[in-house]
């Protein structure tokens, strides 16, 4: 599925469609260059799920945890991961297989540890405010 996003105002709607596209799948991997809009899209997704607390990229840890209306949300940013064993050490599997939503930035850093099924979202920057989201079920 392709989701064109002409401006940041359209993100909320795209986020809704992305959750619907996911269906039962709760693990979402976000690919895209630095500044493409992974965190910003995850903010909209969290809003859709009824998260009221601030959503920012985890800086001191690898994962942030939020409470949504009917679900918990785990937000990972693996950018600073030095090697995949760090992910093993932080117990990434417990989060992935917890049945809660998992939104993952920089999944390429854990390429060997990816779960068997997930939603892959690629964010392509078309213009300063315009993005193309390419979404696939893996």
- Which stretches of the chain bind ligand ATP, using CB under 6 A? 5, 7-8, 11, 32, 34-41, 57, 105, 129, 131
Binding partner selected for residue 56 from Mg ion, ligand ATP, none, CB under the kind-specific 5 to 8 Å limit = none
Site for Mg ion in 7-66 (CB under 5 A): 38-39, 57
Cβ proximity to ligand ATP: between 30 and 118 the closer is 30
Contacts of 6 (CB under 8 A, 6+ apart): 129, 130
Integer Cα distance of 138 and 136 in angstroms? 6
d(Cα 55, Cα 40) in Å, to the nearest integer?
Answer: 9
What is the nearest approach in angstroms of ligand ATP to the Cβ of residue 19?
Answer: 16
User: Counting every residue, how long is the chain?
Assistant: 138
* Least distance CB 89 / ligand ATP (angstroms): 22
Q: Whole-number minimum distance, CB 57 to Mg ion, in Å?
A: 4
Encoding tokens for residue 21? 């596209």
Listed in sequence order, the DSSP H helices in the chain are 11-22, 38-48, 84-89, 92-96
| Whole-number Å distance between alpha carbons of 46 and 2 | 20
Binding partner of residue 26 among Mg ion, ligand ATP, none, CB cut-off 5 to 8 Å per kind: none
| Minimal CB distance residue for ligand ATP | 37
Smallest distance, ligand ATP to C-beta of residue 122, A: 11
Asked if residues 15 and 138 have their Cβ atoms less than 8 Å apart, the reply is: no
Q: List residues near Mg ion by CB under 5 A.
A: 38-39, 57, 105
């Amino acid at each position: 599925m392709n989701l064109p996003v002409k401006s940041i105002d359209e993100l909320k709607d795209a986020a809704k469609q992305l959750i619907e596209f996911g269906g039962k799948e709760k693990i979402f991997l976000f690919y895209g260059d630095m500044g493409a809009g992974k965190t910003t899209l995850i903010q909209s997704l969290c809003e859709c799920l009824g998260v009221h607390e601030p959503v920012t990229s985890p800086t001191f840890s690898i994962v942030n945890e939020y409470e949504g209306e009917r679900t918990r949300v785990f937000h990972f940013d693996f950018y600073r991961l030095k090697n995949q064993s760090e992910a093993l050490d932080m117990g990434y599997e417990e989060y992935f297989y917890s049945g809660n939503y998992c939104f993952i930035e920089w999944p390429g850093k854990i390429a060997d540890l990816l779960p068997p099924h997930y939603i892959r979202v690629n964010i392509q920057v078309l213009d300063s405010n315009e993005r193309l989201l390419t979404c696939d079920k893996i």
